Homo-oligomer: A and B are copies of this chain.
Amino acid sequence: MGRPPRLLCCLFLALSLAAVARAATRHHEWEISYQFKHSDCARKLAVTINGQTPGPTIRAVQGDTVVVRVKNALLTENAAIHWHGIRQIGTPWADGTEGVTQCPVLPGDVFTYTFVVDRPGTYMYHAHYGMQRSAGLNGLIVVSAAPGGPDAEPFAYDGEHEVLLNDWWHRSAYEQAAGLASVPIVWVGEPQSLLINGRGRFVNCSAMAAGACNATHPECAPQVFAVVPGRTYRFRIASVTSLSALNFEIEGHPMTVVEADGHYVKPFVVKNLNIYSGETYSVLIKADQDPNRNYWLASNVVSRKPGTATGTAVLSYYGGRSSPRRPPPTTPPTGPAWNDTMYRFRQSVATVAHPAHVQPPPPRADRTILLLNTQNRIGGRTKWALNNVSFTLPHTPYLVAMKSGLLGAFDRRPPPETYAHRGYDIYAVQPNPNATTSDGLYRLRFGSVVDVVLQNANMLAPNNSETHPWHLHGHDFWVLDYGIGRFDPAVHPATYNLRDPVLKNTVAVHPYGWTALRFKADNPGVWAFHCHIEAHFFMGMGIVFEEGVERLAQLPREVTGCGKNNGH
């Protein structure tokens, strides 16, 4: 018990201090307000951060603490911001999911989000309250790998660009939500424009009323990405769309996919990239084309029949003879056929862990939840449901209710674990589209391994099945397998990829397909898991998991004080 332990102790201390010294705290002061914006040249009232949509990019280094002091300067409307892809280990109350992890932030109030970005990668943030995300409250989070650490990038590049993809409507989120809740439903329809870094171009600008659209407004001038000939660039690409599945292409520049949702993947080359709402990717491109002309960056709708023009930006070479502002001499790429499901399916399957960064999944699950995704009708309203249960948010956030012992705050009956899959025809319209609503949640044994299989099916209209990008809060999950057709629990698990499955936080369930995931319930908190299409979640397409809330200390008072816990 003499010197060596003391020495070790000192060594540990020195190392810890070094780590502390390296880990920075990144402070941000944000004010949320409505501002008139011309994102696609048409004037629209948008929810902005410090006057901007998208909001400022959060940049940090792995291990940093991010502190965002959000002041709600809206007039009558509350707010909450979700840090999409950040697992919030130890800070589940900072997940920003109104109704799940926190009370809304009232006008005039300040809410401070504090969390550690423990993994490098490309993430995003956006409102998680009502349909405010589609009103403009969104942005990027870029976390660099700690230099020399175990998560250092297994690829090299000379420069970096960031691409935030979005879809954009001229109607307000209020009108969209009111339409979705109407009997009969008034669907949001296809977006008016597709945005790249908050910039688009509404094709019918000149047909709008005087003053409503200004095709030369600087806010809608296309983004120009400049590259040096011969260099390799990392493009970080995120999609925060409300509805659209997108295909992204950089004309003439094949992309090597190297990261997905903050995890390094086995590199594969694509002409263009399918990206679903809530997903992020990094790709590498080589600036090896003729530098004397510009090239299109193009965003196209896939999976739904497109009703929206290609969203564009411009790639321009330094030192070339073309002005960065000159449109490329070509027509923008139009992407693959919108209904080529197998084209997209193959990219999904090709996305596996980088050989040097495989984190093997647990070999088996303690519990399997099989979720049939259907469109239903409840009281004349069109809804989405899982196993015929359509999700509703409770009046008191789950985390607040559970830590305050408010037993009656939500339905104590857990939603169903499975559906009557034997003989179910996923290609037919469900004979009985009735469903119930519930705010019940799935309670997971802490530390247990959970499989979720998402089974897609036909919608209310015949011959129709959509792509649903499902996003899990508080965790990454291993993507064990994808299939087309009906998942058979007796057959398909045998061929799951347990060798090198990619870890993600958002994954597509393809039309008439299924996707199998595995995660470990080891992050104390309450976590939403839902379709990232904003209208679909609004219509009930989500569930909630709870694990280990008993391990959490008292909640910060900021997140409490609403619903049955209105504190007074």
- Residues of A near any B CB (own CB < 8 A): 34-36, 45, 75-79, 104, 106-109, 129-132, 172, 174-175, 177-179, 182, 186, 395, 557, 560-563, 565-568
Contact = CB atoms under 8 A, between A and B. Distances in A.
Contacts of A561: 561, 566-568
Contacts of A107: 78, 104
Given A561-B561, A567-B568, A45 B178 contact: yes
Nearest to A557: B568
A75 B131 contact: yes
Given A36-B178, A76-B132, A568-B567, A106 B108 contact: no
Contact of A568 (B175, B186, B560): B560
13 contacts: A34-B174, A36-B179, A36-B186, A45-B174, A75-B131, A75-B177, A76-B78, A76-B104, A109-B562, A109-B566, A172-B174, A566-B567, A567-B567
B75 A76 contact: no
Contacts of A129: 76
Contacts of A78: 76-78, 106-107
A106 B104 contact: yes
Given A76-B130, A104-B106, A109-B566, 6 more contacts: A36-B178, A36-B186, A106-B106, A561-B566, A561-B567, A565-B568
A282 B129 CA distance: 45
Number of copies: 2
A419 to B, nearest CB: 30
A34 B174 CA distance: 8
Contacts of A104: 76, 106-107
A154 to B, nearest CB: 43
B34 A563 contact: no
A563 B108 contact: yes
B178 A563 contact: no
Contact of A36 (B36, B182, B395, B562): B182
Given A568-B560, A568-B567, A108 B395 contact: yes
B567 A178 contact: no
Contacts of A109: 395, 562-563, 566
Contact of A75 (B45, B174, B179): B174
Nearest to A393: B108
Nearest to A560: B568
Contacts of A568: 557, 560-561, 565, 567-568
A549 to B, nearest CB: 18
A76 B567 CA distance: 20
A38 to B, nearest CB: 14
Contacts of A395: 108-109
Contacts of A76: 77-79, 104, 129-130, 132
B75 A34 contact: no
Contacts of A45: 172, 174-175, 178
User: Which 8 residue pairs spanning A and B have beta carbons closest together?
Assistant: A76-B130, A567-B568, A567-B567, A108-B395, A75-B130, A561-B568, A34-B178, A557-B568
Contacts of A172: 45, 172, 174
A566 B110 CA distance: 12
A45 B108 CA distance: 25
A35 B175 CA distance: 9
A182 B35 CA distance: 8
A77 to B, nearest CB: 5
Instruction: Specify which of A78, A565, A566, A568 lies most central, judged by the most chain B CB atoms within 10 Å of its CB.
Output: A568
A369 to B, nearest CB: 28
A45 B180 CA distance: 13
A460 B529 CA distance: 55
A106 B104 CA distance: 9
A34 B177 CA distance: 9
Instruction: Indicate the member of A130, A178, A566 with the most B CB atoms within 10 Å.
Output: A566
A35 B106 contact: no
A473 to B, nearest CB: 19
Contacts of A77: 76-78
Nearest to A172: B172
A15 to B, nearest CB: 39
Contacts of A186: 36
Nearest to A110: B395
Nearest to A563: B108
A395 B109 CA distance: 8
Given A76-B78, A178-B45, A568-B557, A106 B562 contact: yes
A175 B107 CA distance: 17
Contacts of A557: 566, 568
Nearest to A566: B561
